Chain A
Amino acid sequence: MNGAVSVEKNPWDTRDTGKLGIWLFLLSEAMLFGGFLSSYVMLRLGSSVCALGAPAWPQAGYTGGLLLATLNTLVIITSSFTMVNALTSAKQSNVRGFSLNLLATILLGCLFLGIKAFEYTAKVQHGYFPRSAFIAANPGLGIFVSFYFGLTGLHALHVLAGILWNGFLYQTGQAGDLTDAFVRKVENAGLYWHFVDIVWVFLFPLFYLV
């Protein structure tokens, strides 16, 4: 079965194990958001049999925050572009280009969170949050705001983690030494950042358009 195998040390550096690790981790992350999203979709599809007698989901015409969310979609997609640019510059050992683009990614991430915070504040002021007096009067909305805050909040935490991760890379990259190992780190951070972007691309239509 395996008697003939010889022990040779692996050529560690030629295989990009780190990238595989990130992909596996993102797979796991996808299942986390998948758990939430499929719950949302299933409950929403099943809401016609909801026993409340009131519509369990926002009626047509509910457009709270659509403008802000559209803006945020643009912001986060742009940040994916700057992330790609940062990686390209890093590969070309262009320290200045790398730093500027990564800084732009970080700032766009912060802008995303800022807009999000503004939107949350507006929603809370209008009573669109779990167990508010407004929701008590419209109990069917309770599950919608739960999913809304649960999912967008979880996503916002992921954005925050991405900002921190990029921040560490920015700080390390300032030293100006863009080694191969460092470029691989940027690439991995990029994969994560694009994943966070894609999750938002799912959240946006599900919460604001349908």
Chain B
Amino acid sequence: MTNLIRGLVSFGVASLAVAFLLARALPREAAASLGYLVGLFAFLIGVGGLAAFQHWLKDKEEEQVHGWQRYFRFTTDHKVIGVQYLVTSLVVFVLAGVMALVIRVELAKPGLQFLSYDTYNTVMGIHGIGMIVVALIAIIGGLGNFSVPLMIGTKDMAFPRLNALSFWILPPAVLLLLSSLVTGGFDFGWTAYPPLSVRGPLGKLFFVLAFISVGFSSIFGGVNFVATISQLRAKGMSLFKMPIFVWSILAAGIIIVLATSVVASALLMILFDRVLGTTFFDPSQGGNVLLYQHLFWFYSHPAVYIMILPAFGVILELLPVYARKPLFAYRLAALSFVAIVVLSFVVWAHHLFTSGMWDALSIPFMVTTELISVPTGVVFLSALGTLWLGKLQLKTPMLFALGFLVNFLIGGLTGIFNADVPTDLHLQDTWFVVAHFHFTIMGGAIFAWFAGIYHWFPKITGKMYNETLGKIHFWLLLIGFNATFIPMFWLGTRGMRRRVADFPPDLASVQLWISLVGLMVVLAVAVFLFNMIRSWVKGESAPSNPWEARTLEWNP
């Protein structure tokens, strides 16, 4: 705990001191950026990263720390880092969830209640980017770090120190993001389109810096997973003997390595425009704002596969265990992951149908986008084939896996209307889009995350979770989530806009319904957190392989 506190104090003191000192000589934005950079290094030193760096230089092995303190410091054990990621994801999930609550209170009635239009968009932006971060790190960083090395039979990740570094970049980035609330906020959602993002308060700069930091963290993680999975597998584990979850992490890792730095280039351009006065996005100086959208979505579309491929992996890993059958069409499922990786790079402009992009590009991007439904369909068939004639054991992880299939089917089918140019022209920037991606990310990735947490909970903690509470969590969430988000499709078709805090009175009853029924989701998450904490503290001891799974991590 001392390390974490030391890190946080160093971060606060160093960044503020440097920023205020430099502000005398430099423009405000430059001083703040350098302050954050120094603060980031101070934080890393504070949590114990400097020793690891020196060990790296001198080729010394890290010594393993024991006891609960190790969760609060720079440690290299992949199991500890996995838990750190899981807990951090939960914290950010709750914070971003609180933002969602604020949004729901604001939208319970027409007219403005207590937020201004700008603050509403900042709150929505923090909710959005927070949940994006959760979806990016929860499964890969949490479950992936914990399970992948065990599943392929190696003692740790390829670069344990880099692994710790990619985790410890996150806390300062999250703090910076939250501090934008008191520095003017950012009213551009999570996408930071210019010209809105190149002028305005300091909060926008904080968003850009935090985004770049998370990008670095993600790249380090991606490099680490690809290197680990391709080099450190146990003897005899050829590619097509790897558990399907490992396949999904490998596929996501490849996307991370190839795509993330492209969005970094876009955000760096914004940073340069703000701090150095360049004119990448100033049309009066020959700049081009559409350029940003192309670069941004070149990453951010593949990014949904960084979120959803590991979710597919978890589901296909779990279904055989709880259906007591081998995975159906394993090879085909693995190959469809590869196909998704390739296709994900040629669909980005489906986000630009209404942006003023050259019209002739619309149809090709519509076609490539809809092509992705082929490998996705294969994944679904693999799941259904596994369930077919299986002896289904409806434990909590299995319930969440089945819930995933239902939600993701809805999410996938409604995606067609966004991919189709004629319907998208009408639906673009409405709540239809909001409902669609919540079905894929919340109903998909987050459900898979919960499934994985329950599945590996006995392995991670050595305790059993409470099955009844788990089932209550599942049913509350499934019903609450669907009751909340299905009406949003309808609102979208009625013209409810994504980024406007107000709406016409004829939508009021549905909005009120959503605000009320959304509380079921809150309740579900509360039950989950209670179950996790209670079971970890005083749950029954778990047998070494409670699910009789066949993957290596369950070997005693």
A residues apposed to B, CB below 8 Å: 1-10, 12, 15, 17-18, 20-21, 24-25, 27-29, 31-36, 39, 42-43, 47, 50-52, 56, 130-131, 135, 139-147, 149-150, 154, 168, 172, 179, 181-182
Residues of B within 8 A of A39 (CB): 265, 269, 280, 291, 295
> Are B232 and A131 in touch, CB under 8 angstroms?
no
Q: How far is the CA of A135 from the CA of B279 in the complex (A)?
A: 11
Segment at the interface with A among B69-77, B237-245, B399-407? B237-245
Residues of B within 8 A of A51 (CB): 283
* Complex A-B: 5 CB contacts under 8 Å: A7-B552, A15-B232, A130-B276, A143-B287, A147-B280
Main secondary structure of the interface of B (DSSP, over half): helix
B residues apposed to A, CB below 8 Å: 57-59, 153-155, 158-159, 162, 219, 222-224, 226-228, 230-237, 241-243, 257-266, 268-269, 272-273, 276-280, 282-288, 291, 295, 298, 326-327, 330, 550-552, 555
Q: Using CB atoms, name the residue of chain A closest to B233.
A: A10
Q: How far is the CA of A114 from the CA of B279 in the complex (A)?
A: 26
Q: Using CB atoms, name the residue of chain A closest to B53.
A: A168
Q: How far is the CA of A21 from the CA of B233 in the complex (A)?
A: 16
> Are A56 and B277 in touch, CB under 8 angstroms?
no
- Contacts known (A10-B232, A146-B279); A2 close to B550, Cβ less than 8 A: yes
Q: How far is the CA of A142 from the CA of B277 in the complex (A)?
A: 10
> Are A150 and B278 in touch, CB under 8 angstroms?
yes
Instruction: Tally the A-B contacts, defined by beta carbons under 8 Å.
Output: 170
Residues of B within 8 A of A47 (CB): 286
- Contacts known (A6-B235, A10-B234, A20-B227); A140 close to B258, Cβ less than 8 A: no
**Of B230, B235, B286, the contact of A142 (CB 8 Å cutoff):** B286
Residues of B within 8 A of A10 (CB): 153-155, 232-235
- Contacts known (A21-B227, A150-B268); A28 close to B280, Cβ less than 8 A: no
> Are B280 and A5 in touch, CB under 8 angstroms?
no
Residues of A within 8 A of B276 (CB): 130, 149
Q: How far is the CA of A140 from the CA of B282 in the complex (A)?
A: 11
Measured between C-beta atoms, what is the minimum distance from A33 to chain B in Å? 8
> Are A130 and B155 in touch, CB under 8 angstroms?
no
Residues of B within 8 A of A172 (CB): 57-58
Residues of A within 8 A of B265 (CB): 31-36, 39
Residues of B within 8 A of A31 (CB): 258-262, 265
Measured between C-beta atoms, what is the minimum distance from A151 to chain B in Å? 10
Q: Using CB atoms, name the residue of chain A closest to B151.
A: A2
> Are A143 and B555 in touch, CB under 8 angstroms?
no
Q: Using CB atoms, name the residue of chain A closest to B550.
A: A3
